[in-house]
Structure 1
Amino acid sequence: MKVMSTQATKLRSDQQGCLQLLQITDTHLFSDRNKDLLGIKPAESYEAVIKHASRYSSKCQAVLSTGDLSQDHTQQSYLDFTKQIKTLNLPCYWLPGNHDTQSVMLPSLLQEGLAQSKQIVSDFWQIILLDSQVEGAPHGFLTEQQLNFLQQALTEYPDKHTLICVHHHVLPVKSAWLDQHILKNNQQFLELIKLHKNVRVVLSGHVHQAGDIEFNQVRFLTSPSTCLQFKPNSEDFDVDDSAPGYRYLALHKNGTITTKVERVAHGEFSPNKNATGY
């Protein structure tokens, strides 16, 4: 089920004209909170990340959740996601990842009051959330409908700086096994946004690692998962012992951004280093 809202949601910036945001991504929750994913219990690491992120909640305007909320496609996993995210007392805007099942995800999140907004407009910025899911496949692809929506949104507000959220990474991260699961029509996406000088940032999850690449004057950011992390620059599947985390972003009215990756205490959650896949 791929439904897209057509009406933009309004989001007020702070007194300095800044939008401050949190990115929470790749929670991979199970209905059973005691179940682990390669040695880490996603429910426990997610709770620890949210507790850590709460230090930012009083000054932020929203949370962006960039996919893979669930690992087992259950309603309970989505309800547990919302229970924790609500403790931040911020609106949460979300999109699906390759592990999500939208026929379960959509009604579960709507039931809990998480709006299905895919275009958020503020005083100086707009945020566009895209659906790159290919049902049953780990790689990403933007359909013609999604690309048309992006084109329309960028054209509608040419005077606003733009942050685009998409689950799959757009630029290679130099991990061969991950890069085969990239956004497959990334060149089409890059050509489209190149025509719009208001695009400043593309924010992704999926790769379970922090990245910051500038390409064609656009920053492409990837962020850590709230559970296990993937080892950077790895030819084959490999996990990393970096701690679970999230990303803080400040979108300034002049189009610049300040961002920082935050993590819970190192060693609090340790993955199974002998894992060969998940």
Structure 2
Amino acid sequence: MNRRNFFRNTALATGGLLVGNASARADVVKPRRSLRIAHLTDIHVMPGKGAAEGMAKAFQHAQSLSDRPDFIFNGGDCIMDALKHEKAEVAAQWSEWQGVLKNERELPMYSAIGNHDVWGWALKDRARRGDYGKRWAMEELGLDRRYYAFEKKDWQFVALDSAHVDLNSERGYTARLDEEQFAWLQDTLERFDANKPVCVLSHIPIISFCPFFDGENETSSDWVVPGPWMHIDARRIKDLFARHPNVKVGLSGHIHLADEVKYLGVTYLCNGAVSGGWWDGNYQEFPPAYVIVDLYEDGSVRSQYVPYLA
């Protein structure tokens, strides 16, 4: 073969390979999106500071997207604080919440209970705790149970109750699942269809990097993450998830910062705060925002942090 024919044949062969590769790429089927969720967490609405107006803008923004979400996940901490305020103040905060929802919510909404939604755990008069608790928050959020499961399209969902009273904590709570709830979660994952992916919603992160930077947690020369910042029982929860590889996504808020942690096949998204720095602007580097979460039929997830204030 002379040089001219060699280069001609080589070019033809290379071209054929390129065409073949392009054709193969065209045949790759991208995963189909099953659901789009608007995750609005840590709204902390209250009278004043423009909080109700900000909450309304967040709902308006999410519901006016041209690619509209299928539903809203409310991640908890709906009101500024019920932990250490008296009944009249808490009632005023819930009144703001209900007023905005009545005027602005159009999409279906599923909720988790946040620590600041729980009445009275941090009051100095702890003898009155028995009259307080989560019942009020459940009524405001329309929940029959503190934790629950449901299905939509190709996905299965679990909403957890993260915050539990801790008499030894000055904050009044720590992040964990009570034994009854953990047993329920085990049973629920066993009963779920193993061929359908699972998304878990919790107010407090199960696993997250954000808690390291929520406060000066390194000043003792060791990194110390407080129990209320991240699930203290994360080890046994991740062990449970490892036995159920269809658990694909964990969504949370609480820290007002945002991250994405992939661990043992699960994508954990800590999704900032609608209120940002509790209606005082940004919290550290993160402006007030919600997060769009796209769930795909193959169990994959994509997310987008969406600042909504002009």
* TM, length-normalised to structure 2: 0.68
- Cα–Cα, structure 1 residues 200 and 182, in superposed 2: closer, same or farther, change >3 Å? same
Question: How far does residue 155 in structure 1 lie from its aligned partner after superposition?
Answer: 1.1
The answer on whether the counterparts of 2:257 and 2:283 sit within 8 Å (CA) in structure 1 is no
The residue number in structure 2 matching 1:240 is 284
Question: How far does residue 130 in structure 1 lie from its aligned partner after superposition?
Answer: 0.4
Name the CA distance, whole Å, in 2 between partners of 1:191 and 1:134. Answer: 21
Question: How far does residue 81 in structure 1 lie from its aligned partner after superposition?
Answer: 2.5
Q: Are 2:136 and 1:104 aligned?
A: yes
The residue number in structure 1 matching 2:127 is none
Name the CA distance, whole Å, in 2 between partners of 1:154 and 1:78. Answer: 33
The residue number in structure 2 matching 1:92 is 109
Q: How many residues align?
A: 234
The answer on whether the counterparts of 1:92 and 1:115 sit within 8 Å (CA) in structure 2 is no
Q: Are 2:279 and 1:209 aligned?
A: no
Larger radius of gyration: 2
- Cα–Cα, structure 1 residues 22 and 85, in superposed 2: closer, same or farther, change >3 Å? farther
Name the CA distance, whole Å, in 2 between partners of 1:48 and 1:250. Answer: 21
Q: Are 2:305 and 1:261 aligned?
A: yes
Question: How far does residue 79 in structure 1 lie from its aligned partner after superposition?
Answer: 4.0
Which stretch shifts more, 197-206 or 179-188? 179-188
SS in 1 for 2:248: strand
* TM, length-normalised to structure 1: 0.76
Give the percent of matched residue pairs that are identical in Structure 1 and Structure 2. 22
Could you list the per-position Cα deviations for residues 47-94 of structure 1 after superposition, in whole angstroms to 9, with x for gaps in the alignment?
Answer: 222222122387322111111111233234334324434524111111
SS in 2 for 1:28: coil
The residue number in structure 2 matching 1:122 is 152
Name the CA distance, whole Å, in 2 between partners of 1:57 and 1:107. Answer: 33
Q: 1:78 is matched with which residue: 82, 94, 112?
A: 94
- Cα–Cα, structure 1 residues 57 and 209, in superposed 2: closer, same or farther, change >3 Å? farther
Q: Are 2:160 and 1:146 aligned?
A: no
Name the CA distance, whole Å, in 2 between partners of 1:115 and 1:52. Answer: 29
Question: How far does residue 152 in structure 1 lie from its aligned partner after superposition?
Answer: 1.6
Name the CA distance, whole Å, in 2 between partners of 1:47 and 1:85. Answer: 8
- Cα–Cα, structure 1 residues 242 and 96, in superposed 2: closer, same or farther, change >3 Å? same
Mark the runs of 5 or more structure 2 residues left unpaired by the alignment.
Answer: 1-31, 83-89, 119-133, 166-170, 218-224
Question: How far does residue 149 in structure 1 lie from its aligned partner after superposition?
Answer: 1.7
Deviating 4+ runs (over 4 angstroms): 114-117
AA at the equivalent of 2:176: F
Q: Are 2:235 and 1:187 aligned?
A: yes
| Structure whose residues are more often helix by fraction | 2
Q: Are 2:200 and 1:164 aligned?
A: yes
Could you list the per-position Cα deviations for residues 143-188 of structure 1 after superposition, in whole angstroms to 9, with x for gaps in the alignment?
Answer: 1111112112211112210000111112242326373121111111
Question: How far does residue 142 in structure 1 lie from its aligned partner after superposition?
Answer: 0.8
Could you list the per-position Cα deviations for residues 192-246 of structure 1 after superposition, in whole angstroms to 9, with x for gaps in the alignment?
Answer: 111101000010010101111111111010112111349xxxxxxx942632100
Name the CA distance, whole Å, in 1 between partners of 2:233 and 2:140. Answer: 30
